[in-house]
A and B are shown apart, each in its own frame.
Chain A
Amino acid sequence: MKNLIRSYYRLITIVCVIAIGLYSPLVLAQSPDSSPTSVNINNYDESHAQSIDQQIMCPVCPAETIDQAQVPIAKQMRLIVREQLANGATEAEILSFFADRYGQAIIGAPPKSGYNLIAWVLPVVALAGALVASIFVLRSMTSKPVVSATSPESEIDSHLQPFLEMVDSDLGLGERNKNGNLPGGPTGDG
């Protein structure tokens, strides 16, 4: 029992320490005299920071990431990203830092886990399904006997077909025709 209480206290202490540790940059950033330029953080990769910015939504401007938005809170959040990067945090840690505070909706894409895997998997499955279906449809269209009824349009096309094939063969597409000279284009207006 004593052990249990002790470990319970220990857990609370750890949680508090972590929470304070995580919140401190936020508090720092929100103090009035800290603009992105007044804090000098250098040991991080700016392009990496920008790629993280592009994944975090601005909480107050619709459909904009903090990389795009120019409002103060977006600037503060950009600064937090850089501070955390400079402190050695990984991309995943930074993203979950923001997700913990603002909710999952602050991240620009659904997480690739759990229920939200549907968001990523369904498009792939749907496309693959459509591909298979269309191959079957094409197959069934090839095996079907030729319907003799032709529209006037296709008759015209059959008139033009020799010319078009000639062009194709000249362009090296169809079967080669040794005498496949171009008699002034398919419409004869050359």
Chain B
Amino acid sequence: MASLGAIGLCIALVLSSYSVIGSFLGKSIKISALEESARRAVYVLLLVVFVSTVSLVTAFINRDFQVAYVAAHSNLAMPNIYTWVAFYAGNEGSLLFIALALAVLSSIAIRLAPARSRETLAYTVGILMLVETFFLAVMIFMANPFDTLPLTPSDGEGINPLLTHFGMFFHPPALMSGLIGLTIPFAFAMSSLIGKQSNDEWVDAGRTWGIISWVLLASGLLLGSWWAYTILGWGGFWFWDPVENAAFMPWLALTAFIHSIMVQKRRGMFRMWNIVLINVAFALALYGMFMNRGGPVPSVHSFGASDLGLVFLSFLAAGILIPFLIFFWRFNSLKSAQSLDSMLSREAAFLMNNLLFLGIAFVTLWGTVYPLISKLGSGEEITVARPFYDQVNGPLMLLLILLMGIGPLIPWRQANLASIKSALLFPTIVGIIVIILLAVCGIQKAIPLIGFGLCSTVLTGILTEWVRGTKARHRSSQEIYPIAFVKLVLANRPRYGGYIVHLAVIMVAFGVIGSSFFELQRDVVLAPGETYEIDNYKIKYIETNPIVKSDRTEFISAIEVDRNGEYLTTITAKRSFYPSFNMASTLAGIRSTPVEDLYIVPSENLPDGSVGFRILINPLMWWMWVGGPVMILGTVIALWPQQIRQNTMRANQSG
């Protein structure tokens, strides 16, 4: 079975190379049959990569330990369900996953390419397959998941215990697909640039695939935070760890892009800027994959350190340099079709938004490279970690929330200062009232006060618009309010989908501000039967039951929780020890409510039967996790095809 997979990879490499050559050659010597065959090679490639994937999955399910990768990432004790996770637990498997994801996304993107971008589709195919060729070649020549061992071991090494968590079923795949998915808007942009078109042809595909990659990355980041929160056992969700940063930066650049592409879509402006943005995002995505898979920086993610670093770095350099040259080669074709009507317009607000997103990305990149600069400059070893990012990026994020409140209220082209003032008046008053109320309630810290104030302003701004729109619709069509609201949303999906995503961002911001500034954390050692009081909770440690399993010993602690003297709930928290890894993993017991999380994690089991617990009260954390599905909902609404509008577009184009 494994040899089938290995052969599959080789065939895929031949197909992708053929597709690259066929696309560019067919386009330059104008043989459309060659172009078409190169395009169809993508679909065949998808099939072949899929066969290789199935073959690796089969090797895992059969526990074929002759395959080195299977032996390194699974063992007989591993339940079959973890095959999904074991598949990408190491470099080789994740490369195969990335190759598969790119093949799937490319096939869909090519098949459904909008009519306007057909003209240069051959270049798009060529660029996509060039990237695919890179991943296939790396796999075949450097990190082949189908390499076999000279001797078949009787059992494998087993899966990294930290990966055996529900979040791990989705966090790595979402992030990897998001990072590689960025290749698609990039390929459409570059092909339009190479093809000497007026450079608006790629905008629809660029926006759609930009948003798809964006939501994949966003879900991946949120799931990763959730994983860290429940399993890493310190009560936080974000490290500003170098690898997290590497996934965060392309997301930031992409967020800037999906806003700014709207300006080009609506007004034919920012052409050059959008090309720059998607290039920056693509370069950062390559950097992200390099950090994740090359493993140059020690971090919580270094599950598979490797010597792939240099190859990835060269590819990253090429991925920056070549588009840069193409950009200057085609520089003159990138003039805006229209000029800006006013500094006070949605267009200008979007540019400010871009500035802030790129600013945060820059600070994050700067923090990542500064230790190196310091070492070269002054010879001093310096750490740039969470305290730095919190202090520098925190205020920038507050500014972003502010802009999120103002931006959507400013109309396109030219805004009337008086109308903006009147639109902003009510939300601002609500924000100020919230700040005053919270201050009266005893919150003294300035940053969360400002944060909550801004959040309520944005929230009020969005809800006011929804209410006004629904009322207007109700007035004109006599529909009852719920129907009027649904139809309002459906009538302008990009706009209202965007609002829903903004709502989700506010929910996440709520969780971040609440838990970062108001968490209550205590480390205590409790003997069985002992109690500890924290806030208005009384925590009573009952007992710990060890359960010996084939690969680990689980210590499950039961904790009884009283609130205000009344029994509330019983929480179980788990600490598992894996002898073969000499490693423990924890699973926190969490009672989550919209108001606050009660979070209990056993940090050590002492020999006398007592347990060291870390107990946290994390206010508003719940909102952060609920924000994720809301964000996905908003994205789906924003992307849902608008049949009628498309029909009118076609009619307009033909007429």
Contacts and interface: CB of A to CB of B under 8 A. Distances in A.
Interface of A: 35-37, 46-47, 50, 54-55, 57, 62-65, 67-70, 78, 103-110, 115-116, 118-120, 122-123, 126-127, 130-131, 134-135, 137-139, 141-147, 149-157, 159, 164-165, 167-168, 170-175, 181-190
B366 A123 contact: yes
A127 B412 CA distance: 25
Given A62-B300, A147-B336, A151-B268, A123 B392 contact: yes
30 contacts: A35-B525, A62-B297, A62-B298, A63-B242, A65-B386, A68-B236, A70-B604, A107-B383, A109-B383, A109-B388, A109-B391, A110-B374, A116-B380, A120-B392, A134-B355, A135-B343, A138-B340, A138-B343, A141-B336, A143-B339, A147-B338, A152-B652, A154-B338, A155-B652, A157-B266, A157-B267, A164-B412, A172-B422, A174-B419, A185-B488
Given A63-B241, A105-B381, A182-B473, A151 B337 contact: yes
A150 B268 contact: yes
Contacts of A182: 472-473, 475-477
Interface in B454-478: 465, 468-469, 472-473, 475-477
Contacts of A105: 381-383
Interface string B240-283: 01100000000000000000000001111100000000000000
Contacts of A119: 366-367, 370, 374, 382, 384, 388
Interface residues on B, range: 35 or more
Nearest to A62: B298
B380 A104 contact: yes
A186 B348 CA distance: 24
Nearest to A114: B378
Interface in B498-528: 520-525
Contact of A170 (B233, B469, B652): B469
Nearest to B367: A119
B383 A57 contact: yes
A122 B366 contact: yes
Contacts of B569: none
A70 B302 CA distance: 18
A170 B473 CA distance: 9
Nearest to B468: A171
A151 B192 CA distance: 14
Contacts of A139: 343
B128 to A, nearest CB: 24
B565 interface: no
A63 B382 contact: no
A65 B236 CA distance: 11
A141 B269 contact: yes
Contacts of B116: 152
Interface stretch (B81-89, B316-324, B640-648): B640-648
Nearest to A154: B268
Given A36-B523, A109-B391, A64 B381 contact: no
A50 B525 CA distance: 17
Contacts of A47: 520-521
Contacts of B111: none
A190 B473 contact: yes
